[in-house]
Structure 1
Amino acid sequence: MWSDLVGALALVMVIEGLMPFLAPERWREWLLQIVTIDGRTLRVFGGVMIAIGLFLLNWVN
């Protein structure tokens, strides 16, 4: 169980690190755009991402 959790977190770190590594200037531009988005929109986006992630986890298992 713990090894699966650590493995999943490690994979998230690899995926999250790809953009700053491959295209740091574009990544910085995206971050500046995200700062201008209101909190409600970010919350909805986060909820949708969680729902998609849970669906994919359920589908894979």
Structure 2
Amino acid sequence: MTSSLLLAFGLVLVIEGILPLVAPQAWRQTFQRMVEMKDGQLRFVGLASMLAGLLIVLLLH
């Protein structure tokens, strides 16, 4: 169980590192837009991301 969680965490880090590596300017612009969002908007983005990830996990498991 612990090794699966560590593997998942490692994959998240790899995936999140792709955009800054490949397109740093686009990543910077996206990050700047997120900084300018209101708290409610950021929470919605976080919730949508979590639900999408959960859906993927449930479909693949």
Aligned-pair identity in percent equals 34
Structure 1 unaligned spans of 5+:
none
Misfit runs of 4+, over 6 Å: none
Whole-angstrom distance in 2 between the partners of 1:27 and 1:13:
15
**How far is 1:41 from its partner?**
0.8
TM-score (structure 1 length as normaliser): 0.88
- Residues 1:37 and 2:52 aligned together: no
- One-letter identity of the residue aligned with 2:31: L
Cα RMSD of the aligned pairs, angstroms, is 1.0
Whole-angstrom distance in 2 between the partners of 1:37 and 1:51:
20
Structure 2 unaligned spans of 5+:
none
In structure 2, what is the equivalent of residue 8 of structure 1? 8
Which aligned pairs between 1:9-28 and structure 2 lie closer than 5 A? 9-28=9-28
In structure 1, what is the equivalent of residue 57 of structure 2? 57
